[in-house]
Structure 1
Amino acid sequence: MSSYRLYLLICGLGSFAGKVAFTLNLIYQATVVGLSPLQLVLVGTVMETVCFIAQVPTGVIADVVSRRLSVIIGYLLMGAGLLVWGLVPSFAGIVAATVIWSIGAVCVDGAEEAWAADEIEPGRVTSAFVRGGQINQAGSLLGILAAVGLATFGLAVPIVAGGVLTLALGALLMLFMTEDRWSPGSAGSAGSGSPGSAGSGSPGSAGSPGSAGSPGSVAVGAWRSMGRQVVAGGRAVRGSALLTGLVAGTFFAGLSSEGFDRLSQPFLIPYVGDRPVVFGALAVIASLGAIGATGLIGRRLDMSHPRRVGRLLAVVQAVTAAGMICFGLAGQWWVAVPLYLLVRLLRDTSAPILNVWLVSATAPSSRATVFSIQSQADALGQIAGGPPVGVVAARTSLGAGISVAGLFLLPAMALFGWAARRSPVAENRPAVEVSTAAHG
């Protein structure tokens, strides 16, 4: 199997297995396992914390040892975690499964794309990523339908089935996944700045300890590079009003996301019941709506006017905050369900708007650092925001917890609006300049 076809298979089967496992997962946790609102949120906090901590070590493994190995280990761990998730219906079992799955997910994240970029023929890489995204969306929709069908045998069945499929994908990769165009040695040569040594294709030069350095030295270099990036990123935040607003706004948006993600489906159970077909239908509607809205916004966004893009994001956050607050206060199903779909639609479309804003408002030399800092702020916000929302939901009601999560978005709206006023009017006036030392 060619690397191109294998990557498309990974996109389709991985997305399908993930949706099978997670479409009704929160309903399973709330009804079968019987987790409290605080426990539901803490599971999400554990997931975000593990992913945040494991990012660097797993990235070093992918860059020092093998991207192929990192991807295979990742899918095997995710599959094992899902099996524990579905077969051990207790809070301790869910937490243990979350830790296992999260480490696996981080192993795959980034390493999969890096492997594809190296192993697929250069002229087909862009096509692979575009086609892979389309297959990913198709796999997600099919996975939702499969989850609903399997749930008729029990809510744990889709989770176990998703775990089995993920393990099967890992085993399939062990047989068919190759790594012929990349090695730790070639990566080290490329980084050394020696022309001709990295791309020569000579097996001897690729693995030469003299040209690449030992895996230990490469790992130390990776950690030092991360340290330099953190220092440069901190300086960038202090020195740029735009970046300060973006990071602070993203942090508050992260504060709100865990509450809605973990509590919204259990909140709907009294209104629509715990029937899998209802939540499956809602997931399909939300996915189709997000695909259509993202395409529509993508055609209308003008990257040459980052200030307008920033203002649009501030408006989206304002409407999302209002939708979440009203959703938490809803007393009828015909109010709660449309608000639930509206919030999901807006949250799915806000991510590409933010990406366009970051790209249009930053210079190429600073772009990677800005994205990295923004992702870290989002993760820290989710870690910090989950527990207080869970405490409110546990002591009062699920709706109150969701409304509090919506209140967290109000500072994000204000900060994004403040940052938008400091964005460049045209793309030839980049607002953020960060030292290239941030890239190590």
Structure 2
Amino acid sequence: MTRHKGTALLYLSQSFASQLFFWMVFTVNLLYYVQVVEMNALQLVLVGTVLEITVLICEIPTGLIADYKGRKFSIVLGYSLIGLGFFIEGLFPTFTTILIAQVIWGIGYTCISGALQAWITDEVGLNKVDKVFINSTKYENVGNLFGILLGIVIGYISVQVSILIGAIGFLFLALYLWRNMTETRVINEKKKDSLSFIENIKSMLSSVFSSFKANIILRYVLLIACIVGIYSEGFDRLWISHIADIIEGTLSEKHMIFVVGGVQFVTSIFTIIVFQFLNRMSEKIQFKSLYKGLRLSYFILILALICFAFSTNLIGLICFFIIIQVIREVTSTFENIWFNQLITDSSKRATFFSVKGQVDAIGQIGGGPVAGLISQYTSIKIGLAASALLLSPVLFIYQKLLKTRD
């Protein structure tokens, strides 16, 4: 029990620290792209597309490595690469070097994607991990608050310095986890067999894909991940430019950091409040109730996305942005809990999550350029509205899920 609590606390501490450093970067990086590097709408989306292509290529290989070599190894390597990528991004403010940085930190992201969920599930047990995931979202959002505040303060002086400090933070986080993480799971139980590394990997991958083929619910999870990826890339890359267009002339570029950071700060506070309430619901999650809740959440999300796209005043934009981001946190967390419960073979858990991440990347690669091109040749608000419409098929999927048996 004590060991489980210590492991959960380590997981929650990395949730806090990783989001602290992420948001020191993310609070300012789009402003960095727009104001310092002077990217246009299409370039902004292309940066995201390069990142998602990297995720697409590396997600499954790094997931297999995490299951075969060890989750601790994969997580430490991942945070090291994320730190290196952000350091290059902050040090060299050119479009080309930023594309290179996306490749490096994208590989790092795929190393931790799935490996973190698989590690904590094996360490504390499937019956206890749901509450850890929900608490993790709260810790992440507290990290967001501090990261946003630091990003605003440091970014007001220099957006580059904020990115560089966040990058160095990730390198220290990797060192901290290397020294303190334990992994009690038997790493690669198949090592005692005569199978080669390649044969083990092939066997593991074949087993995972067979599971998806045999289980229609798992296939629905992948389809939802793809649709979410299709809509999300356009929104994530264009929302700041949309706000900048609406308030153009009323604020200087220097003061945009307060708007961008402030709205993200308030969003994190609301998210913490919402998850404090949802934490009470984590003991026993019934799939039918989960499907109904997620379907309603996505319906509200689509409406909020459309309203955000066509709002013409700052207050309206901020309100709809908060609704959008809080709902995204809710849907992401509970879909991960749902997916985790569907995985029956713990030894391949990281690979399952990597397949899901790869499908999400495919969606982002397809949807991002579409939103970028629409925005480039019409307007950003039309591009954002198109992203909202691309999300709508997810409502029909949850309707079909309600007709399936648990």
| TM-score interval for Structure 1 and Structure 2 normalised by the shorter chain | 0.7 to 0.9
1:348 aligns with 2:348: no
Q: How far apart are 1:262 and its partner, in Å?
A: 1.1
Tell me what 1:387 maps to: 369
1:269 aligns with 2:251: no
8 Å Cα contact 2:79-2:170 kept in structure 1: yes
Which is further off, 144-153 or 7-16? Answer: 7-16
Tell me what 2:49 maps to: 45
8 Å Cα contact 1:320-1:346 kept in structure 2: yes
Which of 233, 258, 262 lines up with 1:258 in the alignment? 233
Q: How far apart are 1:96 and its partner, in Å?
A: 0.4
Tell me what 1:218 maps to: 197
Q: How far apart are 1:102 and its partner, in Å?
A: 1.0
8 Å Cα contact 2:142-2:272 kept in structure 1: no
Q: Deviations over 1:289-346 (max 9, x none)?
A: 1222234345458956533432332222122112212211222223222122221122
Tell me what 1:230 maps to: 209
Q: For residues 188 and 232 of structure 1, what CA distance do their matches in structure 2 show? A: 20
Which is further off, 328-337 or 388-397? Answer: 328-337
Q: For residues 221 and 70 of structure 2, what CA distance do their matches in structure 1 show? A: 34
1:278 aligns with 2:259: yes
Equivalent residue letter for 1:392: I
Q: How far apart are 1:389 and its partner, in Å?
A: 0.9
Which is further off, 375-384 or 393-402? Answer: 375-384
Tell me what 2:33 maps to: 29
Q: How far apart are 1:219 and its partner, in Å?
A: 4.2
Q: For residues 63 and 271 of structure 1, what CA distance do their matches in structure 2 show? A: 47
Q: Structure 1 length as normaliser, TM-score?
A: 0.76
Q: For residues 172 and 286 of structure 2, what CA distance do their matches in structure 1 show? A: 47
Tell me what 2:391 maps to: 409
Residues 146 and 260 of structure 1, relative CA distance in 2, 3 Å threshold: same
Say which structure, 1 or 2, has more relative contact order (CA 8 Å, 6+ apart).
2
Residues 49 and 16 of structure 1, relative CA distance in 2, 3 Å threshold: same
Q: How far apart are 1:76 and its partner, in Å?
A: 2.2
8 Å Cα contact 1:317-1:413 kept in structure 2: yes
Residues 104 and 376 of structure 1, relative CA distance in 2, 3 Å threshold: closer
Q: For residues 272 and 282 of structure 2, what CA distance do their matches in structure 1 show? A: 15
8 Å Cα contact 1:78-1:163 kept in structure 2: yes
8 Å Cα contact 1:50-1:103 kept in structure 2: yes
Aligned ranges for residues 2-401 of structure 1 at < 5 Å?
4=7, 9-112=13-116, 135-173=139-177, 176-177=179-180, 186-189=186-189, 191=190, 211=192, 213=194, 217-236=196-215, 240=216, 245-272=220-247, 273=251, 274=253, 275-299=256-280, 305-355=286-336, 374-401=356-383
SS of aligned partner of 2:187: helix
Q: How far apart are 1:52 and its partner, in Å?
A: 2.7
Q: Which has the larger radius of gyration?
A: 1
Count, aligned residues: 392
8 Å Cα contact 1:246-1:415 kept in structure 2: no
SS of aligned partner of 2:39: coil
Q: For residues 12 and 281 of structure 2, what CA distance do their matches in structure 1 show? A: 29
Q: For residues 38 and 324 of structure 1, what CA distance do their matches in structure 2 show? A: 20
Q: How far apart are 1:135 and its partner, in Å?
A: 4.2
Q: For residues 118 and 281 of structure 2, what CA distance do their matches in structure 1 show? A: 30
Q: Which runs of 5+ in 1 are unaligned?
A: 192-208, 425-429, 431-440
Q: Deviations over 1:27-82 (max 9, x none)?
A: 21122211111221122222222123212322343344454443333222111111
Q: For residues 131 and 228 of structure 2, what CA distance do their matches in structure 1 show? A: 33
Tell me what 1:194 maps to: none
Residues 22 and 173 of structure 1, relative CA distance in 2, 3 Å threshold: same
Q: For residues 364 and 64 of structure 1, what CA distance do their matches in structure 2 show? A: 17
Q: Which runs of 5+ in 2 are unaligned?
A: none
Residues 213 and 20 of structure 1, relative CA distance in 2, 3 Å threshold: farther
% same residue: 27
Superposition CA RMSD, Å: 3.7
Q: For residues 120 and 352 of structure 1, what CA distance do their matches in structure 2 show? A: 18
Q: Deviations over 1:403-435 (max 9, x none)?
A: 100111222222322332x133xxxxx3xxxxx
Equivalent residue letter for 2:307: C
8 Å Cα contact 1:68-1:177 kept in structure 2: no
Residues 300 and 139 of structure 1, relative CA distance in 2, 3 Å threshold: closer
Tell me what 1:206 maps to: none
SS of aligned partner of 2:312: coil
8 Å Cα contact 2:208-2:352 kept in structure 1: no
Q: For residues 66 and 363 of structure 1, what CA distance do their matches in structure 2 show? A: 18
8 Å Cα contact 1:243-1:370 kept in structure 2: no
Q: Structure 2 length as normaliser, TM-score?
A: 0.82
